[in-house]
Amino acid sequence: MATPSKVQLDTSLHPVFFTALKKESADKASELLQDNHDNHHIFFNKEGFHNHIAHHLLTIYALGATPEQLQKGYDRNSAYQRSPIVQEEKVFEQLHDPAVWKKCLGNEKYYHDYLVFFQKEMESKGWEAVVNEYLFSRTEQAEDMLVRLFAGFLHPLIHLGFGMEFRQPAIMCEALAQTAVHDRWIGGLLLEAEKTADRRKTAKGEKSIPELLEEIQRNERLKNSPHWADGNKVRDGILKRDPDDMLEIASQFVVQESQLEKKMMEMMNAAIYFTAAAQRPNKSVKMDFYYMHCVNSSIFFPSFLSPDSPLSTASKIRLLEWKGRIDLALYASRRAPPLLLSEVTSYRPKKPSGWQEIFERVKNFNDDGHASKMLRTVAAAEELCRKWEARPGEGEFIGDVDMRVQSGMWLQIGHMIIDSVEGWGGGEEEPRWGRSVGFDEAWVNVPDRAGPAQAVL
């Protein structure tokens, strides 16, 4: 049985999207996840680069990976991990003291202490109570932690999502500990946008995320606020040079209680839309590395917002609003590239196939988890969005949901992802991802488009 300190996958507990859950693979994944939990830090270096082992293994397990594929993936990605830092003074025993708690926040050397602390909290209170207390109780401590949950390009949120989707309290403890050691500057966007939205106090005239993406594209001041040389293009770009426009646009994404499912679908669809459609027609297809995290975090919202979720309705609304707003900010921070759906609809796959063949390719791919997560999310979104898609004679958007990605585009996007990360030349010399694709500089090392496998526009 899964506990706050023990990982144990159960094939009877179904994640949001899966193709096959095998007992022998569940046992192997549990063994490897436990080794990662016990022996590795959440960052693999002191620069804060994230340990993605849990993400990768849980994703390919859901996609039917064999024990051999799981072991191979673990061996590749465990080789560069580092051990947790264990403090001799057992700081975890002091974290109930608010002064000690605050002193340790944002410092990666205390990751292990927070991990042990949250394990003990969950052992006595249960994971549902702990998640609510430390993220959603609206105390000063919870408000601070909720901001940190969205830091690091959404990695703490992704980690918590995996824990909740696969019902693994130990992974949730990792997520909460990871949250505590992240920074909190993103609160300048999320908390201020929330205040602006609250002042409106109305849903009349609200705009969809795709409409707000278009508004960002038309705003030259906001588009030009991030610079290529910025160390962090959200913090040092848009929030430094044009915070007012960003807050005004972000605050227009609002969710009413009656709209939870519709707005969740809108958010998932929009993240995939702006990530897949941000291409350069003269260059090989590349997905933006930062936009990709907006996609990969979206798959967990069916778990967060489920009727079985321990979150209150108010917390669900808040979580979804913050996700939509940070997606808008990340889109703007890469200089808001044009979104070309023709790049999706006219794409010619390198190896035409169905989803299962794509999943098999990514399970064998030298991945750290990013590609497999993105593919599982797109496949899940295809299923989840289907009932909201436009149909002939039924209006442009079913249920008034602005869905730009529809029907046959999903599989096209799946091919774009796997083809782009594998590389057209078949070697490691081609970059797997674009980075900040609204900038010309991001495309310098991407090969020009050529060859019969690529669409001619």
Q: What pLDDT shows up at residue 383?
A: 95
**Average pLDDT for 184-199:** 94
The pLDDT confidence band at residue 202, using thresholds 50, 70 and 90, is low
| 204, 275: one domain | yes
Which of 158, 180, 202 is a domain's end point?
180
| 120, 239: one domain | no
| 380, 449: one domain | yes
Which of 160, 180, 200 is a domain's end point?
180
Q: Considering the chain, what is the average pLDDT of its residues?
A: 93
**Average pLDDT for 412-441:** 85
pLDDT tens string 205-259: 579 999 999 999 999 999 999 999 999 999 999 999 999 999 999 999 999 999 9
Q: What is the dihedral of CA 367, 109, 151, 114, to 10 degrees?
A: 100
pLDDT tens string 298-320: 999 999 999 999 999 999 999 99
| 167, 216: one domain | no
| 277, 386: one domain | yes
**Has residue 94 been placed in a domain?**
yes
The pLDDT confidence band at residue 21, using thresholds 50, 70 and 90, is very high
**Has residue 17 been placed in a domain?**
no
| 324, 195: one domain | yes
**Has residue 16 been placed in a domain?**
no
Task: Give the number of other CB atoms < 10 A from CB of residue 259.
Answer: 19
Q: Give me the percent of the chain exceeding a pLDDT of 90.
A: 88
The residues, any chain, with a CB within 8 Å of residue 371's CB and separated by 6 or more, are 362, 365, 417, 418, 421, 432
**Has residue 4 been placed in a domain?**
no
φ/ψ of residue 304, rounded to 5: -60, -40
| 148, 225: one domain | no
| 175, 189: one domain | no
**Has residue 6 been placed in a domain?**
no
The residues, any chain, with a CB within 8 Å of residue 300's CB and separated by 6 or more, are 16, 157, 158, 160, 161, 162, 164, 165
The pLDDT confidence band at residue 28, using thresholds 50, 70 and 90, is very high
The residues, any chain, with a CB within 8 Å of residue 133's CB and separated by 6 or more, are 125, 142
Range of the domain at 167: 23-180
Which residues face 283 on adjacent strands? Answer: 448
| 453, 350: one domain | yes
Q: What pLDDT shows up at residue 99?
A: 97
Number of domains the chain is built from:
2
| 295, 406: one domain | yes
| 148, 90: one domain | yes
The pLDDT confidence band at residue 427, using thresholds 50, 70 and 90, is very low
| This prediction's pTM | 0.95
**Has residue 337 been placed in a domain?**
yes
pLDDT tens string 374-405: 999 999 999 999 888 765 555 444 557 899 99
Q: Name the packing angle between helices 243-250 and 187-200 (round to 10°).
A: 60
**Has residue 32 been placed in a domain?**
yes
Which of 159, 180, 201 is a domain's end point?
180
Q: What pLDDT shows up at residue 199?
A: 81
**Average pLDDT for 102-106:** 97
**Has residue 304 been placed in a domain?**
yes
Question: Which residue do the tokens 């020009």 mark?
Answer: 448
| 223, 104: one domain | no
The pLDDT confidence band at residue 130, using thresholds 50, 70 and 90, is very high
